[in-house]
Every structure is written in structure tokens, then in C-alpha cells.
Structure 1
Amino acid sequence: MYSALYNHINRFIDLSTGEQEILAPMLKSFSVKKKAFLLTEGQTCRANYFVAKGCLRLYFIDIKGAEQTTQFAIENWWITDLTSFLFQTPSEFYIQAAEATEVIAIEHHLYDEMFHKLPKLERYFRLILQKNHQASQRRIKFLYSQTAEERFRHFNSLFPEFVQRVPQYMLASYLGFTPEFLSKIRAKK
């Protein structure tokens, strides 16, 4: 049931079968329908979500009322509102399923217990957070140093299958432009 997560963890650290058995009761798996929410603005984020299959997105509503996607999570990626999750404060974000998604969650109230029983998972999550932080820094750099068309071409070269998976308005929001502009870029092909 949790094999996708165990395989992912074992790419970073060695988690034995016995340790997997200790971790399993702390995990919760469930399905999320397309467009369903795991978190809405004002709620406290209660879990860190691992995508076993599907796609989730993290976004906020800007001052003009437009959705601004800040992160996607596809298979083998984690997603959460980290500030709300760590400090148990109301979120300023939404987490929504961009497509039907299979999720494995670790709830906040189990984090300390998990790290106490399986200290090596602290290393795993540190490595995941480092990769996530690096990706966020690169995304910010690209938003300020590349034209909109360059951002699309670069993203499309890295994740061509992903570009086809998500709705155009979500992708445009993530890349920092309008869906209409994305249509014009795609039409140039």
C-alpha cells in the first residue's frame, strides 16, 4: 500500500522492512477527486502530503483575485504549506487536486513520534526540504531573469509530459503569465 513512499525514502536513506512496519501506522492513504481541496485559506495545515499518483498544487489568491500557483506535486513529490504545517497557524494557501490523486499523508501530531522512533527520517526530510528549497530558488530566479517565453520553453524541456497534464490556466499561473499568453506561445510551435 505504501510501496511508492518506501521506494522514494530508500532513494535517500535505507529504511528496513522493520522500520517500514514502524512507520506504516503513522501514515494515512486516501484518494482525492480532481478539483477537491486538502487545504483552504484560513485552515491550519494538518499534514504533509506525498503524491503516490496524480497531481496536487499549492496556490494563493492575489490582490487582484487571481490564483497564483506556487508549487505542483506529481508522483513521488511532497507538498504542504510548510509554515502553517510546522507552526500550526492558519494558512494563506490552498492545496487542490489538479487531477484525481492518490495521497499518503503524515499528520503533524505524529511528526515528533515518527522522528523519535525513526531518527533517520529526519535526514530524509532534510534532504527533501533542501531539494524543495533549491527548486524554489531556481524558480524565483527564472521569474526575474527570463522572459515569459523562455520560462515556458525551459519548463517544457524539463517536464514535457507534465505540461500536457495540467490545465493551461494552472501552468500559466505557475509560470507567471496569463492563459492567453500561454496559448500564443504554444501557437508559435
Structure 2
Amino acid sequence: MYKALYNHIERFTALTFEEKEILDSFLTPLSLKKKEFLHQAGESCRKNYFVVKGCLRLYFIDIKGAEQTTQFAIENWWISDLTSFISQKTSEFYIQAAEPTEVIYIERRNYDTLFNRLPMLEKYFRLIYQKLHQASQLRIKYLYSQTAEERYVNFNKLFPEFVQRVPQYMLASYLGFTPEFLSKIRSKK
């Protein structure tokens, strides 16, 4: 199960056999059923999750009581409420499996020890967080600069297989409109 993570790490930095053995001691695998929660709002986020197989989503409940998806994580992506994870303050987000999912996680309490023993992982996570930040910036730009239909068309072009994987209401929430509007867009095609 750790092979997917090691392959991902090696896209950014190399690990020796001994370093992999050290890393093994910090990793925990976990399987989830569809709609199962990894994290709930009101808790401090104490784990960072790497998706081996499946799909997770990060969302919050808005002032109208609607779920607002802010991030998805599919194979080879990390997901956490990063603000809560770093500060160890209470989270306002939920992390839920959008489909049956297998993850590997690292606990927050182990990060300093892990980085002291395997310094190259600090570089790895810095690069991962940079990519996450870039993706978040682009998403915000698209929310403000494109029509809802343009956002759907572009997202569908970039991630056609993904559009088929997640429920319509989650995709609509992520793209910034209602499931009913998404149905109208799809019926035009």
C-alpha cells in the first residue's frame, strides 16, 4: 500500500531503503466506506491524508446550511484542513469519502520528528503545498472570472474521468453553483 506514496515522493526527492523503513514507522493505512468521515468540524485536524485509491472531499457548511466543497483529493493527492493541522486550532471543515477510499496518514504530532529524521521530506511537503496553493489560486480566479458554464466546461475538459466519479451535488458545490444548474448545463450537451 505504501508503494503509491513512495512513487509519489520519488517524483520530488529520492529515498533510500533505510529512509523508507524510517518513514514506514510514521505511516498508518486506513480504508473508508463511501460517505465515511475522516474529520469533523469542531475538532482539531491532527492528520494529513494521502489518497492511495478513491476520492475525498473537504467541505464546510455555509450560513444557509448548504455544503460547500472546497477541495477534492484523488489518487496521489494529500488532503487536510491545513490551517487547523498547522495551528492545531478547531476546524470548520469536514473531510469525507466521496467513494470507497484507501488512505495513508501521518499524525501532526510526528511531523517535527519525521522532518528531523528525514529532512528531504520537508522539501517534498513544501513542493506539495506549493502545488496545492497554486491550484487553490486558480480555482478562485476561475470562480470570479468565468461563467458557471465556462467553469464546468473547462473542468470537464481538464478532468473528464473525475466528473464521472463524484456525485453531481458535490461537483456543483465545488464549481460554485447548484445541482439543478449543473443539470441544465449537462442537458445542453
TM-score (norm 2): 0.99
| Partner in structure 2 of residue 3 of structure 1 | 3
Q: Given the alignment of the two structures, is residue 93 of structure 1 paired with residue 96 of structure 2, yes or no? A: no
Paired amino acid for 1:81 = D
Deviation at 1:18, TM superposition (A): 1.4
Q: Given the alignment of the two structures, is residue 78 of structure 1 paired with residue 72 of structure 2, yes or no? A: no
Aligned residues: 189
1:82-121 mapped onto 2 (5 Å cutoff) = 82-121=82-121
Give the secondary-structure state (helix, strand or coil) at the position aligned to 1:57.
Answer: strand
Structure 2, unaligned runs of 5 or more: none
The whole-number CA distance in structure 2 between the counterparts of 1:123 and 1:15 is 12
Give the secondary-structure state (helix, strand or coil) at the position aligned to 2:44.
Answer: coil
RMSD (CA atoms): 0.5
| Partner in structure 2 of residue 175 of structure 1 | 175
TM-score (norm 1): 0.99
Identity %: 75
The whole-number CA distance in structure 2 between the counterparts of 1:8 and 1:84 is 24
Paired amino acid for 1:85 = F
Per-residue CA deviation, residues 63-118 of structure 1 (Å, 9 max, x unaligned), is: 00000000000000000000111111110000000001000000001100110000
Deviation at 1:157, TM superposition (A): 0.4
| Partner in structure 2 of residue 164 of structure 1 | 164
Structure 1, unaligned runs of 5 or more: none
| Partner in structure 2 of residue 128 of structure 1 | 128
| Partner in structure 2 of residue 62 of structure 1 | 62
Give the secondary-structure state (helix, strand or coil) at the position aligned to 1:26.
Answer: coil
